[in-house]
Amino acid sequence: MQLPIHREGWPLIAAFLLATAALWLLWPPLGMAGVVPSLWCVWFFRDPERRAPEEAGAILAPADGRVLPVVEAPPPAELGMGPRPLTRISIFMNIFDVHVNRIPADGRILATHYRPGRFFNASFDKASEHNERLSALMELEGGERLAFVQIAGLVARRIRSVLKPGDAVSRGARFGIIRFGSRVDVFLPPGAQVSVTPGERSVAGETVIARLEGSNAPAVHGLGGGDGGNAR
């Protein structure tokens, strides 16, 4: 049974395996102790295939993880979207979730921006404002604008994205990874209907987290607020 691995993981996996081999040569019990973190490293960088639903108007989860309280919040200032609060869906990834991130909808990337920052617990609301992040603004096929933001967490120290302005992107396509653990925020277009609830588990590229205004949508879930979640 093959386990697909994201290319970002191979250098780190090799380092873990070399360290384990060196420890084994020094003293076999030390080598045994290195087997568990080496296996975890392989598991962390797994990159399973996903099948995006073809439902019109659907906005998909960009990350595996747990949905945090849905709130109204201003989008990142660096994207130039203005101060008007938008509905924000945040997904918290723990160190055991798949960390490959995926595009939430079909469209075109208008802007990307990296901003250095702090490393607060990513399940806290203040992480969206203060933590290191990489933001992307995209225009959907109907002209709506949507933003999504990769945010570093307490132990995350590297955000990777291949997106650049002008890229045509497809829902469910891979665009980056964050190691190790963190969150991804999605700022919805006005009128979009939320279709997930806080505490629900999402699957990147498959779970429908919202639907555009005018699409055939199930019942809208209410908004929440405040900090929450497991600490890292």
Which residues are tagged catalytic? Answer: 182
Q: What is the DSSP string of the chain?
A: ----B-GGGHHHHHHHHHHHHHHHHH-HHHHHHHHHHHHHHHHHTB---------TTEEE-SSSEEEPPPEEEPPPGGGT--S--EEEEEEEE-TTS--EEE--SSEEEEEEEEE--B---TTSTHHHHHB-EEEEEEEETTS-EEEEEEEE-SS--EEEE---TT-EE-TT-EEEEEETSEEEEEEPPTT-EE---TT-EE-TTTSEEEE-TTS---PPPPP--S--S---
